[in-house]
A and B are shown apart, each in its own frame.
Chain A
């Protein structure tokens, strides 16, 4: 069965510094990986996804993520954090043999301090 882990409940970073939000996954076949962001009192919004091809995926708001098959990871990154990036971030994984489900991680709260 597929699973996804976000090992950090919270990440703190200063504005202007690079940020990384970690995600590891477990699937039996090829993984299809997603990052979503949730701002306060809002639904989840899509940031980026990896389906196939280039391991470095670029998404919305300057975010990118690197797919690493050997480490089964899909970490979210941004070169220079903004205060407005403060939000709850969810990693998600699906696979063709997964019963049409997308499994979400528990979420990582990002705080960017001015």
Chain B
């Protein structure tokens, strides 16, 4: 089944404790992206990647890191989480490197609580 998977689905952590949220897609997609969803703000893009070893900042990259060492994986790293990073996170992928015209496929989401 074609899908985007994220792990973990739920995470409670404390301020300053490094964490990684994994994202993997099995559709051989070029483009992958991370979003955070907050009430009243919709989805805001954190980072995106147009191909292996090619990443760029979205609208809200502060406090986050990403890497794209393999085409299928795009982990999101929070080196020192803070309470304002409590949010619902979505990974997405798209078949084209520049997905202006293309549908994005979303993972199920990771709900993060930073105490």
Q: Interface size of A by Cβ–Cβ distance < 8 Å?
A: 25
Chain B residues within an 8 Å CB radius of A86? none
Chain B residues within an 8 Å CB radius of A51? 101
Q: How far is the CB of B11 from chain A (nearest CB, A)?
A: 15
Q: How far is the CB of B10 from chain A (nearest CB, A)?
A: 10
CA distance A105 to B4 in the complex (A): 22
Query: Is A82 positioned at the interface, with any CB of B under 8 Å from its CB?
Result: no
Q: How far is the CB of B22 from chain A (nearest CB, A)?
A: 15
On whether the beta carbons of B41 and A102 are closer than 8 Å, the reply is no
CA distance A104 to B41 in the complex (A): 9
Query: Is B98 positioned at the interface, with any CB of A under 8 Å from its CB?
Result: yes
One of A44, A100, A101 near B106 (C-beta < 8 A): A44
Q: How far is the CB of B76 from chain A (nearest CB, A)?
A: 15
Contact with A along B57-73 (1 / 0, CB 8 A): 01100000000000000
Interface residues of B (CB under 8 A from A): 4, 35, 40-45, 48, 50, 56, 58-59, 90, 92, 98-101, 103-109
Interface residues of A (CB under 8 A from B): 6, 9, 32, 34, 36, 41-46, 49, 51, 90, 94-96, 98, 100-102, 104-107
